[in-house]
Structure 1
Amino acid sequence: MADDHGVEYEEAVEALRSAPHLEQATSGPSGQRRYRACGLTSGGRRLEVIVARDQGGWMRIITAFEPRGQKQRRRHRRR
């Protein structure tokens, strides 16, 4: 995965698994619902992970990144 945000796929999965819950994020371009999870990797790295659910209930990771803005950091503090 190692996208523009410098996050490996395995890190995104770890953060997603450690997240206490998902909250609805903005819809994707095709209208699909997207969800946000704030979690930690096993190395202690804080990540925000954006996922989409398909019709079968499977989750697909869209992107993951470290929270940088004030609004993003506040979301992580609440978790």
Structure 2
Amino acid sequence: MSTERTSWTNLSTIQKIALGLGIPASATVAYILYRRYRESREERLTFVGEDDIEIEMRVPQEAVKLIIGRQGANIKQVSV
């Protein structure tokens, strides 16, 4: 066997405990942040009936007028 010491054996017990707790904790935090980001970006589809689909999405306030259209023309076309 080699007499070289690995990085792991050079760590103190406290450092090993900190790594053992810190790595899973940071992975959990990263996963939670990723899920929040993904959920905020994806469209939500809800099936209302056999042929009807309801789509819910967030749009910037500035885009609302463009989506609705003059006197609701765009919305009327979509909802027919």
User: What TM-score range do you get, normalising by the shorter chain?
Assistant: under 0.3
Q: Compare relative contact order (CA 8 Å, sep 6+) and give the higher one, 1 or 2.
A: 1
Which has the larger strand fraction? 1
Question: Normalization by structure 2: what TM-score?
Answer: 0.21
Question: Normalization by structure 1: what TM-score?
Answer: 0.21
Query: Which structure has the greater CA radius of gyration?
Result: 2
